[in-house]
Amino acid sequence: MRREDGIQVSWQEVRRTLTLEGETVLEYTLSWPEVSGAGLGGRWINGYYARLARSWRERWEREVYWKACLELGERRERARPFHPWQGELRGEVALLEEGILSLRFTGWETRGDGRPNRVRWGDVWKVRSGAPCPLRALMGNKRGWKGRLWKELVRQGEGRRAGGDLFLDRDWAKKAKAARPLKGWCLTREGIEVSLPQGTAAPAAEGCPVFLLPREQEEQT
């Protein structure tokens, strides 16, 4: 639990095991935040995440479960082993201070091939009003802020690619820009955290590459 100026963030969690004829087909873990001590704004935020959790739960218990059952049936017909599908969505508080609540979410799902499909994103709120905090407001609505952040992201990416720290496609910057990585940002004490969707600009094995951008941009002379 995180607490600041009377505001508390706790996490609700659901674990489910879905079966077919007694055999485990799908297992998932789902967590979502609940804000208290923030008045109406907190209740609006809670409503948003309650709906988000419900949509993930319904997807796993309907669409994904049905597909897993079909695969189980196919493998039974061919007398081949079946491995239960799995999924998880978890979140954490990245920052809670000065009326700003920043949340980081990570999720993964494995199906028959066992290879994880991953997601990662951040949400930033003005917690008392229950309104999303746009990145441009954090940057003070300064002219050219988006271009400066993008140049820093590209600089980091090229450096990590050259150093072998991160395997990016040759045209990764073009692909990354189309994915709009500044949209699902997360605020931390260290800076602005953004990530690329899995498989967008790097091999799927790299997951969702993460970049940490500075909040304050030094003016170039």
pLDDT tens per residue across all 221 residues of the chain: 566 678 999 999 999 999 999 999 999 999 999 999 999 999 999 999 999 999 999 999 999 999 999 999 999 999 999 999 999 999 999 999 999 999 999 999 999 888 999 999 999 999 999 999 999 988 877 888 999 999 999 999 999 999 999 999 999 999 999 999 999 999 999 999 999 999 999 999 999 999 999 987 544 33
d(CA 50, CA 81): 36
Residues contacting 68, CB < 8 A, separation 6+: 18, 25, 26, 84, 85, 111
d(CA 125, CA 86): 30
What the block records as the tokens of 105 is 């979410």
Which helix or strand (DSSP H or E) is residue 188 part of? none
What pLDDT does 2 receive? 61
d(CA 4, CA 36): 11
CATH 3.30.565.40 at 2-132, yes or no? yes
In the chain, where the domains are located: 2-132, 135-213
Tell me, which fold does domain 135-213 have in CATH? Actin; Chain A, domain 4 (3.90.640)
d(CA 211, CA 148): 14
What pLDDT does 219 receive? 40
What pLDDT does 217 receive? 54
Residues contacting 198, CB < 8 A, separation 6+: 117, 118, 119, 204, 206, 207, 208
What pLDDT does 78 receive? 95
